[in-house]
Amino acid sequence: MYDTPKVENDVATTDIKISAHGCQVYYGDTHAIKDVDIDIEDTTVTAFIGPSGCGKSTFLRCLNRMNDTIDVCRVEGDIKIDGEDIYDPKVDPVQLRAKVGMVFQKPNPFPKSIYDNIAYGPRIHGLAKSKSDLDDIVESALRRAAIWDEVKDRLLAPGTGLSGGQQQRLCIARAVATEPEVLLMDEPCSALDPIATAQVEELIDELRGQYSVVIVTHSMQQAARVSQKTAFFHLGNLVEYGDTGQIFTNPQDQRTESYITGRIG
């Protein structure tokens, strides 16, 4: 599988995958996201940074409508993926989430075998026509999540028995197995130790070739290491958005600079 290197991403980087305009989010009476405009590119890692409570996770959860599961949450404005408004009443969030996968802060493998964890998505979406098809999907997802070698001998062991870093990579493999176009990651390394973090970061970098990856992180170093684009959120506002290098070396906004240099946060 590692035999056909192609360089396609330099063409794709200019495509806009997700674009949000005038996006507002309310939790009951709280105005959590204020008028955010952002264009997220395909085959790029985009990092959302900012102090805790700044709304970066909330905004991320808007991108695959996970906020629908919270009763009091209300989203206004428009968010488009490939030019289609995802909050259009005709859009089924289930179909959307198959297209926009998500990895959560804490590794959350299902209390099933490793195989069933990965096969869960393909099964519900009907991606496999046969058992061997499914086997292939599972294997390739585990390979892409760089965990195949560690688990190939115990695919039927429970996923909850893996170490924290392995669990998180299992969750990434699980997300990848449904063939998403966008991968959202909500602080995927916050519950992991440094070694596991390094592995996951490496993986994210590899995934960039195929997906538009959006990662929320509270660690500026991590953002600098893995992302090409960075967005800085503060108090529900998108303060600054641009190339990662430029944000970290030459921020345009006073608040970004304060955050980068550690004065707020």
Partner 1 sequence: MPVLWLVLIVLVMAVAGYMLGRARALKSAGGDSRDLHSLPSYYGANVTIMTLVPAVGILIVWLLVQPILIDRTISSTVPAEAISDSMTRGLFMSDVRRIADGLDLAVTEGAMGRDEADNIRAEFTDIRDRLGNLGVALGSDVGPEVLRAAQRYRTMSSAGNLLMTLAVLAAAGVGFTISYMATGKNFRARNVVEKVIRYLLIFAATIAILTTIGILLSLVFNTIEFFRLYPAEDFFLGLTWSPSFGGGSELGILPLLWGTLYISIIALLVAVPIGLFAAIFLSEYASSTVRSFAKPMIEVLAGIPTIVYGLFALLTVGPLLMRVFGDDGIGIMQAGTAVMTAGLVMGIMLIPFVSSLSDDIINAVPQSMRDGSLGLGATRSETVKQVVLPAALPGIVGAILLAASRAIGETMIVVLGAGAAARLSMNPFDAMTTVTAKIVSQLTGDADFASPEALVAFALGMTLFVITLGLNVFALYIVRKYREQYE
Partner 2 sequence: MTDANATQPGAGRPARSSSLLQLDERTRRRNASEARFRLYGMAAVGIGLAFLVMLLVAILSNGLGAFQQTAFHLKIELKQDVLDPNGNRDIDEIKDAKTFAYSPLIREAVLRQIEAYGIDTPLSEAPVEGFSSPLDNLFSSGARSTLRDRVIANPDLIGQTVDFRILASSRVDGYLKGRVDRESIARDKNLDTVHLDLVDALHEQGAVEKEFNWDFITGPDASDARPEQAGMGVAMLGSFFMMLVVLGFSLPIGVAASIYLEEFAPRNRFTDLIEVNISNLAAVPSIVFGILGLAVFIQFAHLPQSAPLVGGLVLTLMTLPTIIISTRASLQSVPPSIRDAALGVGASKMQSVFHHVLPLAMPGILTGTIIGLAQALGETAPLLLIGMVGYIASNYPGGVAEGFLAPNSAMPAQIYEWAKRADPAFYERAWGGIIILLGFLMTMNIIAIILRRRFERRW
Pick between residue 80 and residue 99 the one whose CB is nearest to partner 1. 99
SS3 for 183-197 is: EEEECCCCCCCHHHH
Instruction: Taking each helix axis as running N to C, give the angle between helix 131-144 and helix 114-125, from 0 to 180 degrees, rounded to the nearest 10.
Output: 120
Instruction: Taking each helix axis as running N to C, give the angle between helix 194-207 and helix 164-177, from 0 to 180 degrees, rounded to the nearest 10.
Output: 20
Pick between residue 54 and residue 177 the one whose CB is nearest to partner 1. 177
149: contact with partner 2 by CB under 8 A: no
| Single-letter amino acid code for the residue at 27 | Y
Chosen from partner 1, partner 2, none, partner binding at 34 (C-beta under 5 to 8 Å by type): none
Q: Please state the closest distance from residue 245 (CB atom) to partner 2, in A.
A: 19
Which residues 6+ apart lie within 8 Å of 242 measured at CB? 229, 230, 252
DSSP output for 45-62: EEEEE-STTSSHHHHHHH
Pick between residue 31 and residue 99 the one whose CB is nearest to partner 1. 99
Chosen from partner 2, partner 1, none, partner binding at 104 (C-beta under 5 to 8 Å by type): partner 1
First to last CA, the chain: 43
Chosen from partner 1, partner 2, none, partner binding at 263 (C-beta under 5 to 8 Å by type): none
Chosen from partner 1, partner 2, none, partner binding at 181 (C-beta under 5 to 8 Å by type): partner 2
CB 212 within 8 A of CB 185: no
253: contact with partner 2 by CB under 8 A: no
C-alpha closest to that of 64 among 105, 92, 83: 92
11: contact with partner 2 by CB under 8 A: no
116: contact with partner 2 by CB under 8 A: no
Residues near partner 2, by CB under 8 A: 1-2, 4-9, 81-82, 84, 86, 88, 90-92, 94-96, 98-99, 124-127, 140, 143-144, 179, 181, 206, 209-210
